[in-house]
Amino acid sequence: MELPYAFQCCAFISCEKREGEGGGLSWEREEVADSSSRDPPFHFSQVDQDWDDFLMEFEDEPKPQHSVHCSPTPGPFRPCIRLLGSWMIRGGVWLMAGISLVANGLVVFSVFFSPASMVTPPKLLIGLLALVNGLMGIWSGWLAAVDAWTFGSFWRYGVKWESGFLCRLSGFLCVFASQTGLFLLTVAALERCLSSAGHSSSPLFMRLSICLCFLLGFIITLPPLMAGHSSSSFCLPLPSSSSSSFLAFSVSLVLFDSLCFLVMTLAYTRLYCRTTKASPNSDDEAVLTRHVAWLLFSDCVLYLPVAFLSFSSLLRLPAAGPEAAKGVLLLVAPLPACVNPLLYLLFNPLARGELSSLAAHTCVGAVRSKLQRRGATGGQQLDSTYDEDAEKQSCDSTQALVVVEDVKEEEEQQSVLVAHHR
């Protein structure tokens, strides 16, 4: 049986499991009934309602004991029940989303908002890299939220999710974060190589390089955003897609990323050969050069499984099953967005000084604002006390003047009486 979407074959897979396993189902009809009684997070059309009615009639009718072959077949990249599948992948995605958002946020604050931080060209690239890596954490958190919202009945919402704008936007964020981060790291490696040779990069050159990185990332990410339907439930252009355009896009993307890693490796090899002969200009420059080297090494190691999986899928080699590919896509591909900020926060002495200075500045600012509020309240109290004292003094002076006038009148009356007697 040929159907438009893989999620429509979930009912027939359930029937095959019911006949083959003797009732041991991973997707029972009671679960479907419970999920249908909940409010769906997506609005369905009349076609979807007719399809649900057809499924219910198909399950109620007596069926002969033979297998039903339905295509396209659901799988790990188009699941029937849960988007993320196993609890290990689900926990890993939630953990990476939290670490990526928190750690990259700390790096951005320490680089751009710390009083002790001077935004030099390498630190500017590190801060922008952290900002872009945070988008990868948003993608992971987005998938985790969709998995939690459609938990147990993803087949009902899969078509709407894959063809919706939110899925394309999440795929845009993932590809844009991955590619732009790789381009920024390439620029950082080249900048460190030129700086070690004594050629300081001008601010205009750095701005043009950063703008070029973001522009290339946006251009490369346009195909997933403009596509009408995603090639998987994870909203990514997978190389195993049957579409020739997505296949060409995946091949060019893998080759371009490999070229970037090759350029960074050659640049740092030349830098290493040069630093054995001359010492660095300052300790801060040496720390930043070492940090970029750690970023290059870790990202290159983490990219190897993704590149191997991509090439094996392109060459149709049975190197890994769909479940292993799903684990690599969800747990290994976003891992640089977690490792990069942790390397800066844990092993860079500049980061510790910047964060402590930022914390002290924040605490001092909070204490100063409280003191100003208290001072304003105390000033109002002093003003009211001064007004009360002034009123009391004016009252006392008025009373004194009244007493003096009374005394003068009495003296005048006595003088008049004395003159009359005379």
Q: Where are the domains of the chain?
A: 6-60, 87-151+164-347
pLDDT at 115: 80
Considering 9-13, 252-256, 367-371, the range whose residues carry the highest mean pLDDT is: 252-256
Residue 419 has pLDDT above 70, yes or no: no
Highest mean pLDDT among 110-114, 139-143, 282-286: 139-143
Q: What is the average per-residue pLDDT within 315-325? A: 73
The 10 Å CB-count burial string (b at 16+, else e) for 74-87 is bebbbbbbbbbbee
Q: What is the mean pLDDT of residues 347-366?
A: 82
- pLDDT reading at 28 higher than 50: no
pLDDT at position 1 is 62
Query: Which pLDDT score is estimated for 35?
Result: 42
Task: Please name which of 280, 278, 247, 260 lies closest in space to residue 122, comparing C-alpha atoms.
Answer: 280
- The mean pLDDT value of the chain amounts to 75
Dist. CA 336–CA 96, nearest whole Å: 10
Between 243 and 285, the higher pLDDT residue: 285
Question: For residue 259, what are the contacts with CB-CB under 8 A and spacing of at least 6?
Answer: none
CATH architecture for residues 87-151+164-347: Up-down Bundle (1.20)
Residue 409's pLDDT is 54
| The two three-digit tokens of residue 171, written as one number | 């795929």
- Asked if residues 357 and 115 have their Cβ atoms less than 8 Å apart, the reply is yes
Q: Residues 126-156: pLDDT tens digits?
A: 999 999 999 999 999 999 999 999 888 888 8
Examine the pLDDT at 371 and tell me if it is beyond 80.
no
Q: How confident is the model at residue 230 (pLDDT cuts 50, 70, 90)?
A: low
pTM: 0.74
Write out pLDDT tens, residues 399-415. 444 444 554 555 555 55
Tell me what percent of the residues of the chain surpass a pLDDT of 70: 64
Does the pLDDT at position 16 exceed 90?
Answer: no
pLDDT value of position 218: 92
Average pLDDT over residues 334-355: 89
What confidence score (pLDDT) does residue 215 get? 95
